[in-house]
Amino acid sequence: MSEYILALDQGTTSSRAVIFDKKGTIISVAQKEFTQIFPKPGWVEHDPNEIWATQAGIAAEAVSKKGLKGEQMAAIGITNQRETVVIWDKSTGEPVYNAIVWQDKRTADYCDQLKNKGHSKMIREKTGLVIDAYFSGTKVKWILDNVEGIRERAEAGDLALGTIDTWLIWKMTEGKLHITDVTNACRSLLFNINTMDWDDELLELLTVPKSMLPKVKQSSEVYGYTSPNFFASKIPIAGIAGDQQAALFGQMCTKQGMVKNTYGTGCFMLMNIGEKPIVSKNNLLTTVAWKINGKTHYALEGSIFIAGAVVQWLRDSLKIIKTSSEVEKLAGSVESSDGVYFVPAFAGLGAPHWNQRAQGTIFGLTRGSTDAHIARAALESIAYQTMDILKAMEADSGISIKELRVDGGATVNNMLMQFQSDVLNTVTVRPKIVETTVMGAAYLAGLAVGYWESPEEIQDIWQTDVHFNPSTNREPIEEGIKGWYRAIDALEHWSKNK
């Protein structure tokens, strides 16, 4: 009866459910966008109940639209937007505040205070992270400090805390499981990636009561079973991974030195660095890639906050395209960006700059500049930001990256992929299934229940679609790269003196 794996992908802008068969073929997909809440400039929230409602509804829809039944699912794997946090009442399951989303910058000043007090080194060594509003820890502190009565309730042990995986599993099991996995825990600023446990010194620094924390599990194991409040009862929940680590696994980057980049709202490049964490000297993050069968793998990560989202901005704010896919035609209507550079630092700059104060900027406009040049510069900015990360990754690891595996919504754009390969001077490889995030979650869950025997069995079903080879005409590309560096330098200067 158990013929399929159901993967749930709770992303920043939508909840998705995808059903896979043993050959890794997609059998069914359902997806629903949900509300983005922007209460103030720099603040981003989600309604946790809407997240749950869309995710549960979409899971049921993916199953029923193909005439399937819940019982046919051998296991459920969960992957999720990372760092976004929810706090809820343990007895009622009601959130005490909206989820504060990874993009939210409300704790930037507090992060600066932590840096000024000299905590950066200790935090980097323990967590692999830099101090930035991006991560969950300071968001939790903000809720505890700013929502009336919450700290008292937290200290009394009445409240639970979790990233989105934790929240979904709590709901799917009607409060039976309060868990997360290592890949989500390590993005909190509260988790020590060397001891692989919550860290008392960090909890004290960020004033987070231990009683709120979920238990930390491996990325692939049977954690428990769904309750009847979900669309089907007793399905094993067997895989959890933050979406970027899930994509690394979904791309089968299982060997040291293998790299993937996911092009969604933001871009996240991860390199498998094996079983020992490397402390980055080039402003990358060290993160847990996964823990399977008691073995932890680590990754170096470069996080870009705005990538595909710049295309949404062209569509929704600038209104120069009607659909995201139109960007390729508009950008392709000119031969180059003609000296226009777009740095889409709408949410500050992530790795390797970590500049919370940077803002989106367009350089090099002339009377001849058109919407097409801006569209082209917007697409190019995704590739240039990726280049900045790749260079830092090569410097940290001492590995020259010969192949970049790509995935995510924006990789359908061939023009972007070709430009990416050109600026990196590296082959860019797009797999047949670009939904590697859900694929990774499915693999993790499938391995835990024996649906797939081993990663080697999965490796056989991973197939490439297109290889983009770099152009041999390097001169215009090198010129373009120089212009990008000038733009970044100018923006860094401007934002430092704000």
Ligand X SMILES: Nc1ncnc2c1ncn2[C@@H]1O[C@H](COP(=O)(O)OP(=O)(O)O)[C@@H](O)[C@H]1O
Residues that bind ligand X (CB under 6 A): 11-14, 264-265, 308-309, 311-312, 324-325, 327-328, 408-410, 412-413, 416
Query: Cβ of residue 417: shortest distance to ligand G3P, in angstroms?
Result: 18
Q: Is 187 annotated as a binding residue?
A: no
Q: Which does 82 bind (CB under 5 to 8 A by kind): ligand X, ligand G3P, none?
A: ligand G3P
Q: How far apart are CA 8 and CA 442, in angstroms?
A: 9
Q: Is 12 annotated as a binding residue?
A: yes
Q: Which does 95 bind (CB under 5 to 8 A by kind): ligand G3P, ligand X, none?
A: none
Query: Cβ of residue 134: shortest distance to ligand G3P, in angstroms?
Result: 7
Selection from 458, 445, 385 nearest residue 8 by Cα: 445
210, 197 contact by CB (below 8 A): no
Selection from 192, 79, 81, 201 nearest residue 128 by Cα: 192
Q: Is 82 annotated as a binding residue?
A: yes
* H helix runs in 303-347, sequence order: 308-316, 326-332
* H helix runs in 156-205, sequence order: 164-172, 182-185, 200-205
Nearer to ligand X, 110 or 346 (CB): 346
Angle CA 224–222–444, to nearest 5: 130
Nearer to ligand X, 143 or 246 (CB): 246
Q: Which does 199 bind (CB under 5 to 8 A by kind): ligand X, ligand G3P, none?
A: none
Q: Which does 428 bind (CB under 5 to 8 A by kind): ligand G3P, ligand X, none?
A: none
Tokens of 444: 């993790």
How remote is the C-alpha of 297 from its chain's centroid? 18
Whose CB is nearest to ligand X? 409
Q: What are phi and psi of 260, to 5 degrees?
A: -130, 155
Q: Which does 446 bind (CB under 5 to 8 A by kind): ligand X, ligand G3P, none?
A: none
Query: Cβ of residue 12: shortest distance to ligand X, in angstroms?
Result: 5
Nearer to ligand X, 327 or 393 (CB): 327
Q: Which does 324 bind (CB under 5 to 8 A by kind): ligand X, ligand G3P, none?
A: ligand X
401, 390 contact by CB (below 8 A): yes
44, 453 contact by CB (below 8 A): no
Nearer to ligand G3P, 4 or 52 (CB): 52
Tokens of 276: 């020992």
Q: How far apart are CA 350 and CA 388, in angstroms?
A: 11
Query: Cβ of residue 264: shortest distance to ligand X, in angstroms?
Result: 3
Q: Is 98 annotated as a binding residue?
A: no
In terms of Cβ atoms closer than 10 Å to its own Cβ (0-12, 13-18, 19+), residue 456 is: exposed
Nearer to ligand G3P, 203 or 438 (CB): 438
Query: Cβ of residue 54: shortest distance to ligand X, in angstroms?
Result: 13
Query: Cβ of residue 83: shortest distance to ligand G3P, in angstroms?
Result: 5
Cα dist from 233 to 5, 69, 221, 228, 295, whole Å: 15, 11, 18, 4, 31
Q: How far apart are CA 115 and CA 203, in angstroms?
A: 17
Q: Is 14 annotated as a binding residue?
A: yes
Nearer to ligand G3P, 82 or 376 (CB): 82
Q: Is 308 annotated as a binding residue?
A: yes
Q: Which does 83 bind (CB under 5 to 8 A by kind): ligand X, ligand G3P, none?
A: ligand G3P
Query: Cβ of residue 375: shortest distance to ligand X, in angstroms?
Result: 10
Nearer to ligand G3P, 440 or 483 (CB): 440
- Residues forming the site for ligand G3P (CB under 6 A): 11-12, 81-83, 102, 242-244, 264-266
Q: What are phi and psi of 102, to 5 degrees?
A: -50, -30
How remote is the C-alpha of 222 from its chain's centroid? 23
Residue 271 parent element (H or E): strand 267-274
Q: Which does 52 bind (CB under 5 to 8 A by kind): ligand G3P, ligand X, none?
A: none
Query: Cβ of residue 39: shortest distance to ligand G3P, in angstroms?
Result: 20
Q: Is 436 annotated as a binding residue?
A: no
Tokens of 375: 């569209």
Which residues does the annotation place in the binding site for glycerol? 82-83, 134, 243-244
Q: Which residues are annotated as a binding site for ADP?
A: 12, 16, 265, 308, 409, 413
